[in-house]
Structure 1
Amino acid sequence: MSNIPETGRTSRVTVRLIAIQILVLSLLLTLGGRLWYLQVRNGDEYEKEAAGNHVQQVVDPAVRGSILDSRGVPIADNETRLVVSVSRTELMKMDDEGKSVLDRLAKVLGTSSKELAQKVRLCDAETPQPCWNGSPYQPIPVSDEATSQQVLQIRERGEDFPGVTAEPTAVRRYPAPNDANTSQVLGYLSPVTDEEIEEAKDSDSPFLPADEIGRSGLERAYDSKLRGSAGVTRYEVDNLGRVMGRAESDASTPGANLVTSIDSRVQAVAEKELERAMKDARTEFDKNTGRNYEADAGSVIVMENDTGRVVSMVSNPEYDPNSWVGGISGKEYKSLTSKKSNYPLLNRGIQALAAPGSIFKVIPTTAAVNAGYPFDGNYDCPGSYSIGGQTFTNMESESYGTIDLGRALEVSCDTVFYDLAYKQWRKDGGHTPKKNAKDWFYKTAHQFGLGDKTGIDLPNEVEGRVPDRQWKKDYYEANKDVWCQQGDDPQSYADKIAKENCVSGMKMRAGDSVNYSIGQGDTLVTPIQMATAYAALGNGGTLYDPTLGKAIVSADGKHVKEIKPKSHGKLPAKKATLKDIDGALQGVATRGTAATNFGSGWPQEKIPMRAKTGTAEVAGKQTTSWFATYTDEYTVVMTISQGGTGSGASGPAVRRIYDALYGVGQKALLPKPEKALPKISKDGSIQARRDKEEDEPKKDADAPPPGSETDQSGEQPQPPQQQTGQTEEQPAREPETGGTGGDQR
């Protein structure tokens, strides 16, 4: 037993408990004081510091999908380049805001510090290109053409280049296989803007600050498929930009690949032939203006009749889409958007407007038959035609006597169509139209797809114009004040037109209808509209939406979505009428206005050719050359602004395109449309067809047609000796009755 009294033991316990209580109380007081110090006395300071700690995102761009031609050959893909990038955030921390770093970097890269400074400045409403549209926290690429030696200098002298990185990066490439530029079809990329990020934030495909998006062509039309999903690495950083830790991140998903209907071999031929035709036209003298033809722009389209798929689309002048890779310079951008270069960014296949001239005549021919005029009826073709004191003439005032509509198409007799249009105008009531006027000639043009978009899978297609009665009224309302206020100089052509329009500009006049019947007056079309219409004549009457996209293939190759042909209507003609027109257009190629191009050396019995020439007058400019053709498989339409006649300027080039397609006197490139998709490997890569495979024996269904070089029938036709010859182009107009006409060949 313990000798310590019970009272002493109790007092000790009490003391200990009191000591513990005092200690706990002291700790609580200390903690409370510290909390008061942090939250009350220095609360504002720490609140500011805490606000500076946040998460920053560094974007890992997704690998953009490739664009391939119909054989699997890349026409837009990616390549690894040595890319030099600059962190704007690091530059802004420096006393001179990075000026000395950019000066040293410019010397290494062989450029100017001014150009580098422009590339790393942020874009806004007042800052022109070049500038950076992306996030200021994202490294800004300033060169994608660095050499190994330049990269080595930057890395070895890292202390001289703070905030500068140099590393291999995947960048866009436009390889131009077979020298096919395909620029307007492909389009180009540039960084996304803040406005676009805001607009797309709630969409299925939102943008990230470092995204590059398609600005035109297929790059824009299929951007959401090609772009994929960028990866995001999230860093916790303090208010000084120092990384405090790494947050949850997302991996990137590569974009899908787009297989197109473009054949890069045919595209190369079409580009070369259009350029050649334009150069040849510039050597020809224009007796109407007293100078050589300017041939300042043009377009050619090759289309499959039975699907509407575009095999080739060319617009001249062209540009190099690689100019946009890594950011376009101010000098290059100015060149591409200047009047002096004639606006090469414009895709004239879908955006240039011009009067169609006589290739339009298949439409009034159809309209006349639908209005009750027999195709094989008797129609006078005098050398001239007069209405209200105005005389309209055929080309060189030629007269062909009494002919039917088929022969009128063959020789492009304007006066036949003048008379038909005038008679129908009178039947509809003339200046005071009947309540339910038939307006066959205008209605039929709409049914052929004119005055509306074709639905092609490219952005910024324009509608064109059918100058019917409603358009006349709308146009008058929009312009009457200007017309009525214009001067009254009796010697001025413009004032005559203005005075007349002020009084009766809302009325459909006889001259308007007469001029319209031969593709003149206020009619405006695009090459893609005329190609779509002629392809419909070639396939029996179906108007297809023109398409360039053929299939979308996921990066891993497991998902393939084919883009099926889609129709938007039928031609307003019976089978008998289509057959009659088809026969007449064959006559144009063999004995009519296109006989100089296809009348000799072309295997007409084996590859039936149909053609129509056109030469359209343009106010203040030289004539526009048109040439529209089709075979059983393809439609080819070419136009050259200020190029002269259809048969003289465009005809020889179109003939050479067909020679290449079918192998007339040479190896055939594509005697039958490419139906199958390229081979897709298990790893998702798409295998391009090799020339060796094309040379291997094929099944009968895929054999080249008779008349091609590979035809085994023994006969090998030779091509004949060839002849040499936007912006909106306002067609010619004349006072009172519309125009002087002339055979638009």
Structure 2
Amino acid sequence: MSNIPETGRTQRVQIRLVVIQILVFSLLLTLGGRLWYLQIRNGQEYTDEAKNNHVQQVVQPAVRGAILDARGVPLADNETRLVVSASRTELLKMEDDGDAVLTRLAAVLDMKPKDVKDKVRLCDAKTPQPCWNGSPYQPIPVTDEATTQQALQIRERAEDFPGITAEPTAVRRYAAPGGANTAQVLGYLSPVTDEEITKAQDTESPYLRSDQVGRSGLERTYDRELRGKAGVTRYEVDNLGRVIGQAANDPAEPGASVVTSIDARVQSVAEYELDKAMKTARKEFDKNTNENYKADSGAVVVMEAKTGRVVAMASLPDYDPNAWVGGISAKDYDKLTTKKSNYPLLNRAIQGQAAPGSIFKVVSSTAAVNAGYPFDGNYPCPSSYSIGGQTFKNFESQGYGSITIGRALEVSCDTVYYGIAHKEWLKDGGTNPKKNPGDWFYKTAHQFGLGKETGIDLPNEVTGRVPDRQWKESFFKANKAFWCKDGKKDGTYAQQIEYENCLEGDKMRAGDSVNYSIGQGDTLVTPIQMATIYAAISNGGTLYDPTVGKAIVSGDGKTVQEIKPVPHGKLPFTGSTRDDIDEALAGVATRGSAAWRFGGWPQDKIPMHAKTGTAEVYGKQTTSWFATYTKDYSIVMTISQGGTGSGASGPAVRNIYNALYGLDAEGKQDLKKALLPTPQKTLPKIQPDGTINAPKVKPYDPDADKPLGEGQQALAATLGRRD
């Protein structure tokens, strides 16, 4: 045992504890002083330095989804190109605002300096195209067609090109498989604007400054699905721009693909035949104007009769949507927007409005039956019909005696409809209508879906017009001052009309009613409306929302969202009336006004139904209409200033049907040559990796000089051209 007393040990322990306490206190005092030095004494200095550290976002654009035809053929997809871009932010930091850099860049790219500078200027109300309508903080593409040599020059001489980048980028491509342009249906892209970014920032699908946005067509309708989600990596950087850490990483999600009901092969045929029909019409002489037909625009719609799905949709004049990729040039922009170009950006299948002429008579026939006039009753068909001092002629002034409504449809007798419409006008009170007029002809048109949108999944569809009493009153109020100012009782024809409108333009006159009954006057329809109506007659009366989109397939191919056909109404006729109209329209194709265009058609195997239309337009040549259907499809074609329905549009519609069903000029069928003898129901096969193996599409190149078959020649000689 130790000899040290217990009290001594206790004293030593106490001393050690005191020393430890002093050391701990000293350390705390030192730390406290250091904290005071950092936070109080030099706090502002370090705060200022910390402010210079910030998070920098690097955006990886998502690959935009493809737009595919019904068999998986790409109509719009992406390809890798060398894109040269300019940072406007960096250029504006230079003394000359980057003028010298852009001039050197123009020399490398074999472009004019002015063209390069125009591309990087910002768009406003006073700045013409080309200009940049996207965010000024986003790199602005100068060209997406740089060669490898040009890109290497820019990257190897980086000191000569500050603010300029040259790198591979996925850009949009509109493939036009088999020559199927499909421009107005597909639409085009352009950069997102600051205003759009602000509006969308609180939505489920906000925009990034690097985004391209669909501006028309399917690119616009399905923009959210196609766009995907851009990847964003956030880096912490110091005030010298050095990366000091990674804050977060959100990987990019590729956009979904949209499978459409368009068949690229049929689309190619439709575009070719419409173009050929218009060129042929321009060679025909118009005896009414003593010059050839102008045939300045046209459209055609091919639709599945039982679903409303659009198999082909063509509009002329058209354009190349690739012109928008990478920024549009001034020359190309003028081609698309000037009056001389006749506005090819318009999709005339859904935006072209015209009087329908005799293809409207399916509406008038239904209205007559619903108003109490038997379909198989007898009605006079004289060569003309007089009301007061005004005479309304039958087409080509031909009379057929006493005929039924069905026969009136077959031979397109106007005066039968004049007589019924005039009687209904008188029954409703004439120019002084009774309190609740029947207005069967106007009511029925609305029930057929006219005067409103069909609901097609394409933007900017127009409504057309049903000139009923309500429209008449509104139109009168809007134009009365002008009519009363410029109208003259003994002036030109137009001034006389203005004078009459000034006196009683709000009244429904007898002339208005009889003209309306044959699809003339102020009535306006679109090709998509008439294709929907004729498809509904084919399927028994169901009106469908026309659709182009058929399914949305996720980027990995694991999720497929089908777009089902949606009905929006029923035609206002009984089953027996539908059958009567169906039989009459079959008669149009076999013995009526369209028979000379369907010589040799296998009516027993593929019943054809048709209606021709030739609409008069004040100050212009007649509009050609041809509306048809089988059990599978409805096809409607129109050509502005193109002449008669069967004359201008008939051959083209016949050729489209021939391609669909694999028929030759004599009506013999070869299913091996048939493009789509029945509508396609299945979706294209999707591989496990999300890709779709698409078949190749051969260009449509028929024998343009092939003569009419014997049956067609005989009928053409016998019947001649009619409405």
TM-score (norm 1): 0.88
Candidates 677, 681, 686, aligned match of 2:692: 686
Q: Distance in 1 between matches of 2:137 and 2:505?
A: 59
Could you say which residue in structure 2 is the equivalent of 1:652?
651
Could you say which residue in structure 2 is the equivalent of 1:362?
362
Aligned positions of 1:602-613 closer than 5 A: 602-613=601-612
Q: Distance in 2 between matches of 1:135 and 1:233?
A: 20
Could you say which residue in structure 1 is the equivalent of 2:60?
60
> Residues 278 and 295 of structure 1 are in contact (CA less than 8 Å); yes or no, is this contact kept in structure 2?
yes
Distance 1:552 1:412, change over 3 A: same
Could you say which residue in structure 1 is the equivalent of 2:618?
619
1:289 is the counterpart of 2:289: yes
Alpha-carbon shift at residue 88 of structure 1 (Å): 2.9
Distance 1:37 1:525, change over 3 A: same
Could you say which residue in structure 2 is the equivalent of 1:734?
none
1:79 is the counterpart of 2:79: yes
Distance 1:30 1:661, change over 3 A: closer
> Residues 487 and 496 of structure 2 are in contact (CA less than 8 Å); yes or no, is this contact kept in structure 1?
no
Aligned positions of 1:112-131 closer than 5 A: 112-131=112-131
1:673 is the counterpart of 2:697: no
Could you say which residue in structure 2 is the equivalent of 1:720?
712
Distance 1:525 1:19, change over 3 A: closer
Alpha-carbon shift at residue 462 of structure 1 (Å): 0.4
Find the residue that maps to 1:344 and give its secondary structure: coil
Letter in 1 for 2:693: Q
1:543 is the counterpart of 2:543: yes
Distance 1:19 1:679, change over 3 A: closer
Alpha-carbon shift at residue 29 of structure 1 (Å): 6.9
Question: What whole-Å deviation, never above 9, does each CA across 1:352-373 have from its counterpart, x for those lacking one?
Answer: 1100000000111011011111
> Residues 647 and 722 of structure 2 are in contact (CA less than 8 Å); yes or no, is this contact kept in structure 1?
no
> Residues 544 and 567 of structure 2 are in contact (CA less than 8 Å); yes or no, is this contact kept in structure 1?
yes
Find the residue that maps to 2:167 and give its secondary structure: strand
> Residues 487 and 502 of structure 2 are in contact (CA less than 8 Å); yes or no, is this contact kept in structure 1?
no
Q: Distance in 2 between matches of 1:591 and 1:457?
A: 38
Aligned positions of 1:724-735 closer than 5 A: none
Distance 1:479 1:239, change over 3 A: farther
Q: Distance in 1 between matches of 2:171 and 2:515?
A: 52
Q: Distance in 2 between matches of 1:718 and 1:211?
A: 58
> Residues 351 and 460 of structure 1 are in contact (CA less than 8 Å); yes or no, is this contact kept in structure 2?
yes
Could you say which residue in structure 2 is the equivalent of 1:664?
663
Distance 1:690 1:88, change over 3 A: closer
Letter in 1 for 2:712: P
Could you say which residue in structure 1 is the equivalent of 2:627?
628
Could you say which residue in structure 1 is the equivalent of 2:109?
109
Alpha-carbon shift at residue 125 of structure 1 (Å): 4.7
Alpha-carbon shift at residue 451 of structure 1 (Å): 0.4
Could you say which residue in structure 2 is the equivalent of 1:493?
493
Distance 1:538 1:159, change over 3 A: same
Aligned positions of 1:186-335 closer than 5 A: 186-237=186-237, 245-335=245-335
Question: What whole-Å deviation, never above 9, does each CA across 1:5-28 have from its counterpart, x for those lacking one?
Answer: xxxxx99x9999999999998997
Letter in 1 for 2:686: I
Alpha-carbon shift at residue 552 of structure 1 (Å): 0.7
Identity score, percent: 70
Q: Distance in 2 between matches of 1:580 and 1:504?
A: 39
Q: Distance in 1 between matches of 2:123 and 2:244?
A: 30
Alpha-carbon shift at residue 80 of structure 1 (Å): 1.1
Backbone CA RMSD of aligned residues: 3.0
Letter in 2 for 1:179: G
> Residues 81 and 169 of structure 1 are in contact (CA less than 8 Å); yes or no, is this contact kept in structure 2?
yes
Q: Distance in 2 between matches of 1:553 and 1:20?
A: 68
Alpha-carbon shift at residue 744 of structure 1 (Å): 8.8
Find the residue that maps to 2:675 and give its secondary structure: coil
Find the residue that maps to 2:678 and give its secondary structure: coil
Distance 1:149 1:491, change over 3 A: same
Letter in 1 for 2:692: I
Find the residue that maps to 1:93 and give its secondary structure: coil
Find the residue that maps to 2:100 and give its secondary structure: helix
Aligned positions of 1:503-522 closer than 5 A: 503-522=503-522
> Residues 652 and 722 of structure 1 are in contact (CA less than 8 Å); yes or no, is this contact kept in structure 2?
no
Q: Distance in 2 between matches of 1:49 and 1:131?
A: 39
> Residues 615 and 744 of structure 1 are in contact (CA less than 8 Å); yes or no, is this contact kept in structure 2?
no
Aligned positions of 1:428-577 closer than 5 A: 428-488=428-488, 490-577=490-577
Find the residue that maps to 1:248 and give its secondary structure: strand
Q: Distance in 2 between matches of 1:309 and 1:722?
A: 36
Letter in 2 for 1:455: G
Q: Please identify, of 468-477 and 66-75, the stretch whose mean Cα deviation from structure 2 is larger.
A: 468-477
1:99 is the counterpart of 2:105: no
Could you say which residue in structure 1 is the equivalent of 2:8?
none
Q: Distance in 1 between matches of 2:425 and 2:448?
A: 20
Find the residue that maps to 1:506 and give its secondary structure: coil
Alpha-carbon shift at residue 721 of structure 1 (Å): 5.3
Distance 1:31 1:452, change over 3 A: closer
Q: Distance in 2 between matches of 1:95 and 1:249?
A: 37
Q: Which runs of 5+ in 2 are unaligned?
A: 4-13, 665-669, 699-708
> Residues 595 and 715 of structure 2 are in contact (CA less than 8 Å); yes or no, is this contact kept in structure 1?
no
Q: Distance in 2 between matches of 1:507 and 1:237?
A: 75
Q: Distance in 2 between matches of 1:79 and 1:658?
A: 35
Alpha-carbon shift at residue 608 of structure 1 (Å): 1.0
Could you say which residue in structure 1 is the equivalent of 2:11?
none
Letter in 1 for 2:690: G
> Residues 358 and 744 of structure 1 are in contact (CA less than 8 Å); yes or no, is this contact kept in structure 2?
no
Alpha-carbon shift at residue 83 of structure 1 (Å): 1.5
1:181 is the counterpart of 2:181: yes
Could you say which residue in structure 2 is the equivalent of 1:379?
379
Distance 1:683 1:609, change over 3 A: same
Could you say which residue in structure 2 is the equivalent of 1:596?
596
Letter in 2 for 1:259: V
Q: Distance in 1 between matches of 2:394 and 2:20?
A: 126
Find the residue that maps to 2:374 and give its secondary structure: coil
Distance 1:73 1:34, change over 3 A: closer
Distance 1:594 1:26, change over 3 A: closer
TM-score (norm 2): 0.90
Question: What whole-Å deviation, never above 9, does each CA across 1:316-363 have from its counterpart, x for those lacking one?
Answer: 000001011111112211220111000000000000110000000011
Alpha-carbon shift at residue 127 of structure 1 (Å): 3.9
> Residues 197 and 208 of structure 1 are in contact (CA less than 8 Å); yes or no, is this contact kept in structure 2?
yes
> Residues 646 and 722 of structure 2 are in contact (CA less than 8 Å); yes or no, is this contact kept in structure 1?
no
Distance 1:428 1:149, change over 3 A: same
Distance 1:98 1:396, change over 3 A: same
> Residues 659 and 719 of structure 1 are in contact (CA less than 8 Å); yes or no, is this contact kept in structure 2?
no
Find the residue that maps to 2:295 and give its secondary structure: coil
Distance 1:95 1:647, change over 3 A: same
Q: Distance in 2 between matches of 1:404 and 1:20?
A: 115
Find the residue that maps to 1:349 and give its secondary structure: helix
Letter in 2 for 1:347: N
Could you say which residue in structure 2 is the equivalent of 1:392?
392
Alpha-carbon shift at residue 198 of structure 1 (Å): 1.3
Distance 1:72 1:718, change over 3 A: farther
Could you say which residue in structure 2 is the equivalent of 1:584?
584
Q: Distance in 1 between matches of 2:242 and 2:116?
A: 25
Alpha-carbon shift at residue 98 of structure 1 (Å): 2.5
Find the residue that maps to 1:247 and give its secondary structure: strand
Query: What is the total number of aligned residue pairs between the two structures?
Result: 696
Find the residue that maps to 1:551 and give its secondary structure: strand
